Amino acid sequence: MNINLKELEVWFVVGSQDLYGEETLKQVAAHAEEIAHYLNTQTLIPVMVKYKPIVKNTDEIFATLTAANSTANCIGIITWMHTFSPAKMWIRGLKALQKPLLHLHTQYNRDIPWSGIDMDFMNLNQSAHGDREFGHIVSRLKIGRKVVTGHWQDTEVLERINVWCRAAAGWHDWQGAKFARFGDNMRYVAVTDGDKVEAETQFGFSVNTYAIGDLVEVINASTADEINALLAEYEANYELADNVKAGAEFHNNLIEAAKIEVGLRKFLKQGNFKGFTDTFEDLHGMVQLPGLAVQRLMAEGYGFAGEGDWKTPALVRACKVMGAGLVGTTAFMEDYTYHFDPQDAIVLGSHMLEVDPALAVGKPRIEVHPLGIGGKADPARLVFNGQSGNALNASLVDMGTHFRLIVNKVLGVAVQAELPNLPVARVLWKPLPDMKTGCSAWILAGGAHHTAYSLCLTPEYLQDFARMAGIEYVLIDEDTTVGKLEDQLKWNELYYLLGK
Ligand code: MN
């Protein structure tokens, strides 16, 4: 599952008007092309940036923005008004635009040439007021967009654009994406369920159910060669517990895990799925709950969550696309158990089996242990400690009236203690602003126990992404207080009800 962001493009669309005469417009076009070229060659910008001929009237604007809509690998447009571009000309095009929008509020010249400035310079460098005219109409049309202010060679400006491009790539990846649900929702669970029709309408991805028997059929068709190839890969990449090695007591369980992996990967590839979910309550015909297979597929780029949760796999997948090529990863996670030491309060994150080995410090170890839930044979899983560093937890929930994306900034903490009796991967973090406030705020916001845990994304990525999706964004960070958050949730509720 290679994710290559360089196959995607954003269009640099610069507005002007015919009023200025040919000479000025030539300069506007030359500058626009130079800036697009500069952005395109910066390593910080993960996608292609394409210069588009400058737009000077209603028809040119409409033609360019609708062409962006229908260009398959165009993931969004960046606009800039070098000169004044009367914004009533933009109404028709903006109303038709279906791709994400970034408004780059920049200027060709970084500095005012104090001793040389004349009216020709003033005539050409008008973005200080031209961009305000454009911004007004976008606000009036209530179109969500990111506004980035500063000189186009400023590294901080490039970083803001980078984040938006990556969010747009995640959003693009959702359009037409397919997620497979093996079995239904874990019985009686609320937060993992939700309105899949509304999700498809708003997000562009579909979730459909497949009987576990359909998967079992593919698993049972695995050949000895395919299984042996995976067993060799396991030996090359992981440490093997003594009792799972060839000839030992649990080696057959490892063979079974490899067989599941062969079948599951085949099923996902054949159906062109970007992620999946399963449930331990529906494993008819399966010998084990898939552990090792799911872990390795997540590390390859598939979205996943357990118990029929279909929103978290989609979110994990989008985050993996946004973070492609960055240091760190994004993984399916569950808040499992607390350490309430007042001096050192920590959350232990894990799952029954399915923790993404892309999070691992060092070489993960394959172990086989009984699983007290699901009533199946003892499953193989990768056991490891998670990495530390600045991180976040993100959760996408269906509030009935609208979808909400909740993000909590956390600090990933290195696992120091030996945990000889815990047969699963484990990750530790401290929620911001502090354990008590962070957890209370999360619960008040209705955040799920399943999350996308990211060591490579900052909240800005998720905020840009939520804006593209047109959904509510709730951030819990160092500035959060429970009182302010409760008010924000009430106001937002009203906003989304009015929007309906
Ligand atoms: Mn779970």
Delimit the domains of the chain by residue range. Answer: 5-174, 178-499
pLDDT for 25: 95
Going by pLDDT thresholds of 50, 70 and 90, the confidence category of residue 324 is: very high
| CATH code reported for the domain at 5-174 | 3.40.50.10940
Query: Under the phi-then-psi rule, with left for phi > 0, alpha for psi from -120 to 50, and beta for the rest, what region is 26?
Result: alpha
pLDDT for 15: 97
Cα of 404 from ligand 1 centre, angstroms:
19
Q: 190, 123, 100: which is closest to 466 by C-alpha?
A: 100
Total Cβ atoms within 10 A of residue 224: 9
pLDDT for 1: 62
Mean pLDDT of 29-54: 98
pLDDT for 436: 98
pLDDT for 424: 95
Sequence length of the chain is: 500
Q: Picking from 52-56, 293-297, 496-500, which range would have the lowest pLDDT averaged per residue?
A: 496-500
What is the spatial distance between Cα 89 and Cα 137, in angstroms, rounded to a whole number?
10
- Residue 47: strand, helix, or coil: coil
Cα of 374 from ligand 1 centre, angstroms:
13
Cα of 217 from ligand 1 centre, angstroms:
26
| 88, pLDDT greater than 90 | yes
Cα of 192 from ligand 1 centre, angstroms:
9
User: What percent of the chain lies above the pLDDT cut of 70?
Assistant: 100
pLDDT for 374: 75
Mean pLDDT of 49-61: 98
CB 69 within 8 A of CB 75: no
Helix H or strand E encompassing 251 = helix 251-270
How is 402-428 classified by DSSP, letter by letter? SEEEEEEEEEEE---S--TT--S-BEE
Non-local (6+) Cβ contacts of 499 within 8 A are: 402
Cα of 311 from ligand 1 centre, angstroms:
13
Cα of 201 from ligand 1 centre, angstroms:
26
Summary mean pLDDT of the chain:
96
For the sheet with 101-105, list strands across it: 48-51, 9-14, 74-80, 101-105, 146-149
| 255, pLDDT greater than 80 | yes
| 370, pLDDT greater than 90 | no
Cα of 450 from ligand 1 centre, angstroms:
6
Cα of 124 from ligand 1 centre, angstroms:
58
Cα of 419 from ligand 1 centre, angstroms:
21
Cα of 307 from ligand 1 centre, angstroms:
6
DSSP 8-state class, residue 92: H
Cα of 351 from ligand 1 centre, angstroms:
6
Cα of 265 from ligand 1 centre, angstroms:
21
pLDDT digits 0-9 by tens, 438-484: 999 999 999 999 999 999 999 999 999 999 999 999 999 999 999 99
Cα of 182 from ligand 1 centre, angstroms:
15
Cα of 238 from ligand 1 centre, angstroms:
25
Mean pLDDT of 275-282: 94
What is the spatial distance between Cα 336 and Cα 347, in angstroms, rounded to a whole number?
7
Going by pLDDT thresholds of 50, 70 and 90, the confidence category of residue 373 is: confident
Cα of 431 from ligand 1 centre, angstroms:
19
pLDDT for 164: 99
Cα of 212 from ligand 1 centre, angstroms:
19
Cα of 452 from ligand 1 centre, angstroms:
12
CB 259 within 8 A of CB 290: no
pLDDT for 371: 83
Angle among Cα 395, 398, 402 to the nearest 5 degrees reads 115
Cα of 350 from ligand 1 centre, angstroms:
9
Cα of 395 from ligand 1 centre, angstroms:
13
Total Cβ atoms within 10 A of residue 57: 15
Cα of 453 from ligand 1 centre, angstroms:
14
Cα of 402 from ligand 1 centre, angstroms:
23
Cα of 438 from ligand 1 centre, angstroms:
20
Q: 126, 140, 129, 131: which is closest to 103 by C-alpha?
A: 131
AA letter at 497? L
- How many alpha carbons fall within 13 Å on the CB side of residue 169? 26
Cα of 362 from ligand 1 centre, angstroms:
25
Cα of 434 from ligand 1 centre, angstroms:
24
How is 111-162 classified by DSSP, letter by letter? S--TTT--HHHHHH--HHHHHHHHHHHHHHTT---EEEES-TT-HHHHHHHH
Mean pLDDT of 361-390: 92
Mean pLDDT of 227-247: 97
Cα of 333 from ligand 1 centre, angstroms:
8
pLDDT digits 0-9 by tens, 170-224: 999 999 999 999 999 999 999 999 999 999 999 999 999 999 999 999 999 999 9
pLDDT for 442: 98
Mean pLDDT of 119-131: 95
pLDDT digits 0-9 by tens, 393-437: 999 999 999 999 999 999 999 999 999 999 999 999 999 999 999
Ion ligand 1: residues, CB within 5 A, are 306-307, 334
Going by pLDDT thresholds of 50, 70 and 90, the confidence category of residue 140 is: very high
Going by pLDDT thresholds of 50, 70 and 90, the confidence category of residue 72 is: very high
